[in-house]
Amino acid sequence: MLKDRNYSGLLFLVPVGAQALITLISIPIIISSAGNQGWASIATGQAVGGFLGVVCGLGWNVTGPSIAAVADVILSRRTLKLALFTRLMVSIPLFLIGIEVVYLLHLARLDLAVLGLASTLVISFNMQWFFVGQNKPVLLVLYDSIPRLLTLLAGWMIVLLGANVSVGLAGQILSSLVAAAIVCVKLRVFHDGSRLGFPTVWREIFKQGHGLSTEVLPAFLSYCPMIAISALAPSIAPLYALIDKVHKQLVTGLVPMGNFIVAKLLYRLNGSDHPFEQTVRGGMNKIILLGTASCLGTLTFGEPLIWFLSHKTMSLHIYLLVLLSVLVGLTVVVAILPYGLMAPMNCLRQASISLLLGTVIGISALVTLTVFLGAVGTLLGQVIGYATAILFQWLTIRRILSSKIVLLNKIKI
């Protein structure tokens, strides 16, 4: 039975990877339709919306899988409803803040920037973490991924046939909303018999502190560079926007492999026949191996990918390619390690501290180096920040295991 669950878990690799592929394919369509300045405006808006979307997600991607792993039907519905309501409450003020930010950046196409902002902000309504926690990839594909991908693909196909680029962005917004609506209907989220008042929702928002900080801090380091480039060096914004988008979509496509590892890890930690220490060590080794493979893959295929997506008009110097490759590998590890290993070990506080250190050091290096080195300095600052966070997390896990301190024999909520 475990074997069947493990093989079915490979489906976690399909949906997000397919979405990342569609997003990459849409890049030359956007550049062709909106031009370089329009493309830079969209990418900057999406960077702002991406960061605010992580804030809007309130850390459910970190804390949610552990809850879903042991939840019965009633608790599952209540948890999903609570996650949806908390996100809805914070999404509107965050959207208004995002509009103000893109306005202050004086972008060439404010209208496209706002649509880009909305297209990434609404991604926060996804409930993929629930299916990861319950190790139900088939339902994830049926209820979330297929509707999302079909809507997304339809929008960009219409643009390819000659429509304005705003149609594709509208399709991206609609894809997230349609997927969330179908999940709510199919899982009967509003049939749990409970009512959520504002006090309950506000308590849950504040309760998500560690989980939120665990996602927000690396997200700030991830999305800040595009915003910094638009403000400090707008002349290279189109090129860096392409580098940044390739980085994020490669990570988006690779993280589902980490989700597969996480699903297996949560399932094993919730059983009595798998030693805790051996399971954690094996999971850590697999996550690091995935990051290494991601780095080498980007080093091999990154240059032709950039060349293709830019309509053969842009290329990367070798040092930019090397930094991008290292950054992809480090980002994959940072995206998985905190909630894949540290959350089940009750180490979210240590994970938050590591990400805070990485963010502070990374942003400080990024801003300073960007002024003197441009895009090279921006990538190097991110590498320094992520490497700092990973080092702290690795030392924390090693300390716990070497001292034989088992913080969690079974997942407890």
Return d(Cα 264, Cα 366) in angstroms, integer: 36
Asked if residue 363 lies in contact with residue 385, where contact means CB atoms within 8 angstroms, the answer is yes
Residue among 36, 32, 47, 34 nearest 245 (CA) = 47
Q: Please count the residues of the chain.
A: 413
Chain-centre distance for alpha carbon 403: 33
What sign has the CA pseudo-torsion 189, 195, 199, 203?
A: negative
Residue among 259, 264, 261, 276 nearest 410 (CA) = 276
DSSP label at residue 345: T
Contacts of 65 (CB under 8 A, 6+ apart): 129, 130, 132, 133, 262, 263, 266, 339, 343
- Cβ neighbours of 207 (radius 10 Å): 15
Show me where the domains of the chain are located: 2-402
What is the H or E stretch that residue 248 is in?
helix 237-269
Look-up: residue for tokens 């972008």? 107
Return d(Cα 91, Cα 86) in angstroms, integer: 9
Residue among 156, 147, 208 nearest 183 (CA) = 147
- Six-digit token string for 405: 């301190």
How do the pLDDT tens digits run along the chain, 413 residues long?
A: 344 444 555 666 676 677 777 888 888 889 888 888 898 899 999 999 999 988 888 777 767 776 776 666 676 777 777 778 778 888 899 999 999 999 998 888 999 999 999 999 998 888 877 777 777 778 888 888 888 889 999 999 999 898 899 999 999 999 989 988 888 888 777 665 566 555 666 666 666 665 566 677 777 878 888 888 888 878 888 888 889 888 888 887 777 676 666 666 666 655 555 566 677 777 778 888 888 999 999 999 888 888 888 777 777 788 899 999 999 999 988 888 776 677 667 777 787 788 888 888 998 998 888 888 888 888 999 999 999 989 988 888 888 777 654 444 444 43
Task: Give me the pLDDT at residue 4, please.
Answer: 43
Task: Give me the pLDDT at residue 45, please.
Answer: 93
Task: Give me the pLDDT at residue 329, please.
Answer: 93
**DSSP 3-state assignment of 20?**
helix
Asked if residue 366 lies in contact with residue 377, where contact means CB atoms within 8 angstroms, the answer is yes
Return d(Cα 266, Cα 31) in angstroms, integer: 42
Return d(Cα 230, Cα 288) in angstroms, integer: 33
∠ CA 279-144-327, rounded to 5°: 55
Return d(Cα 152, Cα 164) in angstroms, integer: 15
Residue among 214, 181, 8 nearest 80 (CA) = 181
Task: Give me the pLDDT at residue 186, please.
Answer: 82
Task: Give me the pLDDT at residue 405, please.
Answer: 47
Return d(Cα 163, Cα 157) in angstroms, integer: 9
Cα dihedral 35/164/51/387 (nearest 10): -40
Task: Give me the pLDDT at residue 112, please.
Answer: 93
Look-up: residue for tokens 């608790």? 75
Cα dihedral 152/88/351/325 (nearest 10): 20
